Amino acid sequence: MINYNPKEWFTFIFRFHKADTFRKLFPMLIAIGAYSGLIAYLEVDVFKLSENSHIKNIPAMHGMLGFVISMLLVFRTNTAYDRWWEGRRNWGALTNASRNFAIKIQAIVPKELVVERALIEKLIVEYAFALKRHLRGHQNDSELFISEYKVKSEYHKPNYIAKLLVDQIQALYAKSIISGEQLLFINEEIRTFTDICGACERIKNTPIPFSYTVFLKKFIFFYVMTLPFGYVFTLGYIVIPVVVFVFYVLASLELIAEEIENPFGTDANDLPLAQMCKNIQKHIGEIFQEESVLR
């Protein structure tokens, strides 16, 4: 995700970054400009159409359709942002659940059980990294995966790690290290892990309906393609930059919505999952430190 200062207006206006829509649309902007120039040349210089032509009434159609397309784009961008924000909320919940789980384990499990505490600490941290890899389709990556437990690449690794956590907690309960009340107290956090994973999978695996996306792209295309026909009578060759700018605005909104509707990818404006995982790792490590910073 791009970090920025929202108060720096001029920096935004004159800065182009690698994810800027202008870079992505530049070839199409050139093509739209050439197309608009061709239409203006044919109408003004070749066929010499006058303002008495029925074509001059086309802008009335654009006035009516402009409101419709603006409503569609508002709905499209709002829907995409809702998905992005829900993804951010779920990862915030994962961070809190990881901290709460670590705090409970650190307080309940005796410090003498060094191996058990260390393993649970590793599993809590690994769950975040495994979920990141799972959502990005990088299941074969071995980042931080605990060497004691090997699992096939096609398995659902977040579920597997949640199972290992449950096994560890049940083993402590079977040895009477934790009580039944404490078991219920701890299991709530593991259930939260699985709920968060399911919510993230729902966002990733449920894209915007195909028919809606295709219709909106076609609507933008035909709207822009018909702009030069009517406006050339009032704008002349100035219609070229006007049509290019209109296309840039409409297509940019669609591209932005496409980029953020899956917030778990690696695009510039997607969620910084790697940084969130490292923060969880850092915070869990601090919680399990033997020496208290308040001592």
Using one digit for the tens of pLDDT, what is the confidence trace for 233-276?
Answer: 888 899 999 999 999 999 999 998 988 999 998 888 899 999 99
* Mean pLDDT (whole number) for 126-130: 92
Tokens of 56: 């001059």
Contacts of 144 (CB under 8 A, 6+ apart): 125, 126, 129, 281
Contacts of 63 (CB under 8 A, 6+ apart): none
pLDDT (tens digit, 9 = 90+) per residue, 56-65?
667 777 877 8
* Mean pLDDT (whole number) for 222-234: 86
**Which of 6-15, 121-130, 255-264 is least confident?**
6-15
Of 142, 129, 122, nearest in space to 277 by CA: 129
Burial class of 1 by CB neighbour count within 10 A (0 to 12, 13 to 18, 19+): middle
What ranges do the domains of the chain cover? 20-84+208-260, 90-206+274-287
Q: What's the mean pLDDT when you consider all of the chain?
A: 85
- Half-sphere exposure at residue 88, Cβ-oriented, CA atoms within 13 angstroms: 13
* Mean pLDDT (whole number) for 213-226: 90
Q: What percent of the chain has pLDDT over 70?
A: 83
> How far is the C-alpha of 68 from the C-alpha of 288, rounded, in Å?
57
Between these two residues, 222 and 142, which has the higher pLDDT value? Answer: 222
* Mean pLDDT (whole number) for 277-283: 94
> How far is the C-alpha of 207 from the C-alpha of 73, rounded, in Å?
16
> How far is the C-alpha of 226 from the C-alpha of 3, rounded, in Å?
39
Contacts of 83 (CB under 8 A, 6+ apart): 203, 260, 261, 262, 263
DSSP class of 8: -
**Is residue 149's pLDDT more than 50?**
yes
* Mean pLDDT (whole number) for 37-42: 90
- The pLDDT value given to residue 7: 64
Contacts of 120 (CB under 8 A, 6+ apart): 105, 109, 165, 168, 169
- The pLDDT value given to residue 32: 95
* Mean pLDDT (whole number) for 103-124: 91
Contact 117, 105 (CB under 8 A): yes
Between these two residues, 70 and 276, which has the higher pLDDT value? Answer: 276
Question: Which sign, positive or negative, has the C-alpha torsion 96, 98, 100, 102?
Answer: negative
